[in-house]
Amino acid sequence: MQLQPSSLVTDNEGFLVDPEDWNNVVAEELARRENITLEPEHWEVLNFMRDYFVQHHIAADARFVIKFLNDKYGRGSGRDHLYRLFPYGYMQQACKVAGMRRPRAWSTG
């Protein structure tokens, strides 16, 4: 059974307490809370982040996501692309919507 938005357990900043609770419905709700409408490009980033999490058991560093976007859309475009999709930053929005826990040490960028 998939977790529904009404039963989301988040911390006081809106990050999921348990990343295993994440699914597409949860992502849509977390994005809505961030005033983001998820488009196919958002899902590419979110799926990359979730795959990384499954493989490594930690959130992907922003540089890995930027490299993924550079490889997909052309060198030098990754950072701009990431911030166009998640304008308030990788940690504040992308990690939150991807269902990552709030990292212990992080910057707002």
Task: Walk me through the domains of the chain, giving residue ranges and CATH numbers.
Answer: 5-97 (1.10.10.370)
The pLDDT > 70 percentage for the chain reads 88
Asked if residue 39 has pLDDT above 50, the reply is: yes
pLDDT score at 4 = 53
For the chain, how far is it from start to end, CA to CA, in angstroms?
34
Residue 109: Cβ within 10 Å count = 11
- Asked if 93 and 34 count as a contact pair (C-beta separation under 8 A), the reply is yes
Q: pLDDT tens across 76-108, in order?
A: 788 999 999 999 988 889 999 999 987 665 544
Residues 6+ apart with CB under 8 A from 69: 45, 77, 78, 79, 81, 82
Its pTM stands at 0.85
Residue pLDDT, tens place only, 44-76: 999 999 999 999 988 899 999 999 999 998 877
| Of 7, 5, 60, nearest in space to 33 by CA | 5
